[in-house]
């Protein structure tokens, strides 16, 4: 087994790395890695319905879709991530408890009562510190999970705090749970770096064929290609969202503005604007201009750039329209 301590903190590059070790490396792998501030959404989720868009935008938080299912998770540098890639028979591949046991063993060795509970969670005293997901490719499985070690809990809650009334869809929904950091349960302080080393040493000890591995320039070249062509694209991270309806109303200087739209694959198919505002030229040209436009801020601003908004919405700005659409 190749054991990799991956030092990149670029969320787009790192999620691409997961796919790389699954599909391009022939050996089994174990990898430890961290992301700078990011929300990682499940393959089958409606991205916009999983994030607090205003908070994510204001705090420059990356949003990346992974290839495995499950719910959205928040990553920062206080969160350690792990990935296992193993080959085998399909019936033996998806075993969440088996892949998380090394993590449980190390945390229990620190005097903490960590346990595997439910379908795919690791818990301490009824609070979740690790969520896990998996993806099967041919006869190989990618199992990856989070470990909340010293994460900023306010960011965790704020970044994932969304209004469920806004979106109506059949996408997989994240299930909020009470969460905790491992550091809150340590009897003696232990740095994240020291914990990471303990975890890596444990995995090296339980797999007799294991060895440390560093990505080669050829590895990194392919990972960067995956990042640039897939994981850093708007189409992958937002456009793969299932069909959904969106509704939001806000108060503006010009009055109530209510946005109703339907989108498929991230593209606006229908839109209707309501409110008690005044309009000189009517709002139909605005609605028409937004049909077949991607439901993302840059695309919407570009689509409306040539239109004098004041003529269609009295005392309502383009920024107001954007706010009402997310």
List Cβ neighbours of 204 (8 Å cut-off, separation of 6 or more).
3, 210, 211, 212
75 & 208 share domain: yes
Please report, rounded to a whole number, the percentage of residues in the chain having pLDDT higher than 90: 79
Lowest mean pLDDT among 29-43, 82-96, 141-155, 215-229: 82-96
Domain-located, residue 239 = no
* pLDDT of 164 higher than 90: no
Handedness of CA 159, 174, 64, 97 (dihedral sign): positive
Residue 238 domain-assigned? no
Q: Report the domain count for the chain.
A: 2
* Boundary of a domain, candidates 233, 262, 290: 233
Q: Which two tokens stand for residue 85?
A: 């890639």
Q: Is residue 108, in this structure, part of any structural domain at all?
A: yes
Per-chain mean pLDDT for the chain: 92
Cα→Cα distances 64→131, 212, 277, Å: 16, 28, 37
**Res 42 pLDDT > 80:** yes
Q: What is the pLDDT of residue 91?
A: 46
- Its domain, for residue 195, covers 2-233
DSSP state of 229: I
Q: Are strands 29-33 and 2-6 parallel, antiparallel or unpaired?
A: parallel
Residue 38 exposed, middle or buried by CB count within 10 Å (0-12, 13-18, 19+): buried
Mean pLDDT of 311-322: 95
* More reliable by pLDDT, 71 or 321: 321
299 and 165 in a common domain: no
Q: Which of 233, 265, 293 is the last residue of a domain?
A: 233
pLDDT of residue 98: 87
In this structure, the answer to whether residues 202 and 251 fall within a common structural domain is no
Neighbouring C-alpha atoms within 13 Å toward the C-beta of 174: 29
């Amino acid at each position: 087994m190749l054991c990799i301590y991956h030092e990149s903190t670029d969320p787009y590059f790192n999620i691409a790395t997961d796919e790389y070790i699954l599909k391009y490396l022939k050996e089994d792998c174990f990898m430890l890695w961290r992301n700078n501030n990011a929300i990682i959404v499940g393959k089958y989720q409606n991205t916009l319905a999983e994030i607090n868009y205003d908070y994510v935008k204001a705090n420059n938080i990356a949003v990346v879709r992974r290839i495995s299912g499950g719910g959205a998770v928040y990553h920062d540098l206080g969160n350690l991530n792990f990935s296992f890639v193993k080959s085998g028979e399909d019936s033996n591949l998806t075993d969440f408890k088996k892949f998380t046991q090394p993590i449980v063993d190390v945390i229990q060795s620190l005097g903490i009562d960590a346990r595997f509970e439910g379908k795919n969670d690791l818990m301490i005293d009824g609070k979740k510190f690790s969520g896990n997901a998996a993806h099967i490719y041919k006869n190989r499985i990618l199992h990856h999970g989070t470990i909340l070690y010293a994460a900023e809990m306010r960011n965790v809650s704020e970044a994932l705090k969304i209004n469920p009334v806004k979106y109506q869809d059949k996408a997989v929904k994240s299930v909020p749970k009470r969460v905790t950091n491992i550091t809150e349960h340590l009897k003696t302080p232990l740095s994240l770096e020291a914990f990471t080393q303990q975890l890596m040493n444990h995995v090296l000890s339980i797999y007799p064929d294991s060895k440390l591995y560093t990505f080669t320039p050829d590895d990194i070249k392919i990972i960067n290609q995956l990042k640039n062509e897939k994981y850093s694209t708007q189409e992958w991270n937002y456009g793969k969202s299932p069909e959904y309806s969106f509704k939001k109303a806000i108060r503006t200087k010009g009055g109530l503005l209510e946005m109703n739209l339907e989108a498929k694959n991230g593209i606006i198919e229908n839109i209707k604007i309501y409110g008690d505002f005044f309009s000189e030229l009517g709002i139909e040209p605005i609605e028409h201009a937004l049909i077949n436009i991607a439901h993302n801020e840059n695309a919407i601003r570009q689509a409306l750039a040539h239109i004098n908004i004041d003529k269609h919405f009295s005392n309502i700005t383009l920024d107001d329209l954007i706010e009402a659409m997310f």
